[in-house]
Structure 1
Amino acid sequence: VPNKNDLWINGLFFASLSLSLATALLSVLMKQWLQAYSSISSGNAKERAVIRQFRFSGLEKWKVPEIIGILPLILHASLALFFIGL
């Protein structure tokens, strides 16, 4: 039967790993969204402006700036859980 402390430490390490992997996944997704947003589309100036506004509205709808802002907090929480587990 494993010791309770060992179970707690394993749980903290697993939570830390999960948060780190979630942060990495979200970072890659946000980078892809931003690359798609900043890519230059073909067409005249009006069409490009409409496409850019459509993309910007999508970024706002999916709360991309808020997600980007919370990524460091998730990473800090992961680091804290890791150090608590030590």
Structure 2
Amino acid sequence: MVVACRRLKNHGRDTRGMFIHEHIGFNFSITEMQSVIGIAQLKKLPAIIKHKQEIHEKYVAELSDISGLEITPIDPRCQPLHWFTSFYSDHREELA
């Protein structure tokens, strides 16, 4: 397992510094500029989450009167980020 993880981290190479890639691998390193942008975005995170919650609530309020359309249940132990809002319907064709 350790070898497999090291290989993934090392662009799929078994030996560091070689340019032969025996396996699929990745390099998720980021630049200093990307780090700075990420830190700046983290400062905005509470506002972004609040805005996404407001969008979700608007979808639920505006679409709640449509018969046969059910909001996807959310486990009460969770605090979702609502990066999308999904609904269930047994009548997809009619809804479309």
TM-score band, normalised by the shorter chain?
0.3 to 0.5
TM-score after normalising by structure 1: 0.37
Whose radius of gyration is greater, 1 or 2? 2
Please identify which structure carries the higher helix content. 1
